[in-house]
Chain A
Amino acid sequence: MTSPLHFRTIVELSDALSAKRVSSVEIVEAVIAQTNAVESRVNAFNSLNPDDALEQARLSDQRRASGQGRGPLDGIPIGLKDVIAVAGQPLTASSKMLENFVSPYDATVTRKLKRAGVVLWGRLNMDEFAMGSSTENSAFKPTSNPYDLERVPGGSSGGSAAALAAGEAIATLGSDTGGSIRQPASFCNVVGLKPTYGLVSRFGLVAFASSLDQIGPLTRTVEDSALLLGAIAGHDPLDSTSFQAEIPDYRAELATKKGPWKIGIPQEYFGEGLDPEVDAAVQKAVLHYRSIGCEVRPVSLPHTEYGIGVYYIVATAECSSNLARFDGVRYGHRSKDAKDLHELYCKSRAEGFGDEVKRRIILGTYVLSSGYYDAYYLTAQKVRTLIRNDFLAAYREVDAILTPVAPTAAFKRGAKTDPLALYLSDIYTIGVNLAGLPAMSIPCGFTSDGLPIGLQLIGQPFKESDLLGIAHAFEKHHDWHTRRPVL
């Protein structure tokens, strides 16, 4: 192996582990060493558990030695966004509200990863309660983009993307409500996948917008993504919104997906506001797909322009209700200043939540309040149906849809102070969440400033195998994803 352990893929490392060329302890030690070297500059983690991780690694090595290895993920250190519950570990959602909260239970995906023998490594920084696109809304600290430490890694899964890019983990899990896996993946040159809504259990995911949230993998390659998706996907009786879908062997199916495919380019996604270098990289990708025999044709998603409006009504309405439980009563931050119950609620929440969270709670409360439900929430859910129907109509003609992930590459920390401007930059990713579709961001180039550019591929519901195949058909002819930041 030429590249250091902490920059290898899951597939490479699991082969090496099986062949006894390396041990899990060595892999975890390498990741710990890299973290020690770069973390003070990247700030991807809220907390670290090196002793515990090494213990998990030792147990993994013992399992393998006694012929009881649990599969390709056994012994691989994977970081979890600090929004996914792990029993005995902090669950902060990067908020002062949960700064000292320790979860007594495991999320379903956590249980699945533990069963697969994964070494759970650290708690990854994020925008507070998953609300944001830059990780600048973390109550603790901002995370830096490993490709340019003055810039944001994206958000809300900024820590997940940055840690992976910087070699501080072999893979990570993030969550995506309006683009929060895909956009940071595109800013940090990694592969990010948001599964079809309902494919991966949300039990143990701190809820932001219940009808939009999904947990998904961030990895170095499409094959790793297939592997990790396979480990976390599947019906969960603890999540009433989780689908009874057949879970194929996504990794094995990669080899069978050869195309050619019909790919749609939505006109509405390529207008004003799209950075020319991003546009150019995406157009090059279009040419690539044509060159391998795919038919690439324009499609129309006519209700695209309403996506932001729908998202910011539905998501804020749901989150205003989901975050009501954070009241300083049973757990979480409780104000020391409260004279009575009412103050306990109001001050604990005021002290515990940051600006963006408060803004969204206020907006969500407003759109649900008496007299406004029909005009806002009900209308938004109807327009959401139209947005979804746009995609389903397009899928009668094409197999997948190709778009940019974000209008620009990573921006400078502190550059975007207007909340509305930040909301508008979600334009390419939120439609996917509203329609519940699977989508990926894969590395497809760099700007002249050396900043990563991501390509978004949107798939059909519960057809992740096809989506991964289409992504793989690009990746195997390019090496953008093999570039590493210089730290």
Chain B
Amino acid sequence: MPAPADLNIDHVAYLARLALTPDEKRRFAAQLGDILASIEKLKQVDVSGVEPTAHAFPFYNVWAEDKPQPGLSVEQALMNAPAQRERMIVVPKVVE
């Protein structure tokens, strides 16, 4: 099934920060089309007056007291870092 006419796969890939090859774009767009078509029938359901389920068993006011707990040492914090310098994570220069 072809992708819906308004599925801009480039834009979605940009939002998701995923570099896709032209082949992947074609394949995913087509597969997405199939999945979205099967999802279309959801629109037939009468949901008037129905609350969306945000949580299966909702409850309120889950919090903790403001008591500081130990965190990670710098070594632990950076132990999986792909690039670090001066105890900080390094990335290519961020241009505003």
What 1/0 mask marks residues of chain A from 379 to 392 whose CB sits below 8 Å from any chain B CB?
A: 11111111010000
Say whether, besides A320-B16, A419-B35, A330 and B57 are in contact (CB < 8 Å): no
Distance in angstroms from B78 CB to nearest chain A CB is: 8
In the complex, A420 Cα to B39 Cα: how many Å?
11
- Any chain A CB within 8 A of the CB of B22? no
- Any chain A CB within 8 A of the CB of B5? no
From 39 to 91 in chain B, residues with beta carbon under 8 angstroms from any chain A beta carbon are 39, 41-43, 45, 47, 50-57, 59, 62, 64, 72, 76-77, 79-83, 89, 91
Flag if A349 contacts B28 (CB, 8 Å): no
Distance in angstroms from B86 CB to nearest chain A CB is: 15
In the complex, A175 Cα to B83 Cα: how many Å?
32
In the complex, A101 Cα to B76 Cα: how many Å?
12
In the complex, A411 Cα to B31 Cα: how many Å?
22
In the complex, A386 Cα to B19 Cα: how many Å?
38
Flag if B91 contacts A329 (CB, 8 Å): yes
Flag if A369 contacts B12 (CB, 8 Å): yes
Size category, A interface: 35 or more
Flag if B42 contacts A310 (CB, 8 Å): yes
- Any chain B CB within 8 A of the CB of A341? yes
What 1/0 mask marks residues of chain A from 310 to 332 whose CB sits below 8 Å from any chain B CB?
A: 10110000001000100111111
Stretch of A152-160, A176-184, A280-288, A354-362 lying at the B interface: A354-362
Say whether, besides A359-B28, A365-B12, A420-B38, A334 and B57 are in contact (CB < 8 Å): no
Contact of A198 among B19, B34, B57 (CB under 8 A): B57
Stretch of A117-125, A216-224, A237-245, A269-277 lying at the B interface: A237-245
Distance in angstroms from A211 CB to nearest chain B CB is: 7
- Any chain B CB within 8 A of the CB of A350? yes
Flag if B15 contacts A369 (CB, 8 Å): yes
- Any chain B CB within 8 A of the CB of A436? yes
Distance in angstroms from B74 CB to nearest chain A CB is: 12
In the complex, A198 Cα to B58 Cα: how many Å?
10
Contact of B62 among A240, A361, A365 (CB under 8 A): A240
Distance in angstroms from A317 CB to nearest chain B CB is: 12
In the complex, A240 Cα to B28 Cα: how many Å?
35
Across the interface, name the chain A residue whose C-beta is closest to B75.
A104
In the complex, A331 Cα to B17 Cα: how many Å?
17
Distance in angstroms from B84 CB to nearest chain A CB is: 10
Contact of B56 among A211, A324, A382, A419 (CB under 8 A): A211
Distance in angstroms from B52 CB to nearest chain A CB is: 3
Contact of B15 among A365, A375, A379, A420 (CB under 8 A): A365
Flag if A349 contacts B42 (CB, 8 Å): no
**Neighbouring A residues of B18 by C-beta, 8 Å:** 346, 349-350, 353, 358, 361-362
- Any chain B CB within 8 A of the CB of A173? no
Flag if A334 contacts B24 (CB, 8 Å): no
In the complex, A394 Cα to B16 Cα: how many Å?
40
Flag if B55 contacts A346 (CB, 8 Å): no
In the complex, A332 Cα to B83 Cα: how many Å?
11
- Any chain B CB within 8 A of the CB of A376? yes
Flag if A436 contacts B56 (CB, 8 Å): yes
Extra inter-chain contacts (5) besides given A198-B57, A363-B35, CB under 8 Å = A105-B72, A334-B83, A346-B19, A350-B18, A385-B52
Give me the interface of A with B, judged by CB distance under 8 Å: 100-102, 104-105, 196-198, 211, 237, 240-241, 243, 303, 305-306, 308-310, 312-313, 320, 324, 327-334, 338-347, 349-350, 353, 355, 358-359, 361-363, 365-366, 369, 375-376, 378-386, 388, 419-420, 423-424, 434-436, 461
In order of increasing CB-CB distance, the 10 nearest A-B pairs are: A436-B56, A381-B52, A331-B80, A334-B82, A346-B19, A345-B17, A382-B47, A350-B19, A309-B39, A240-B62
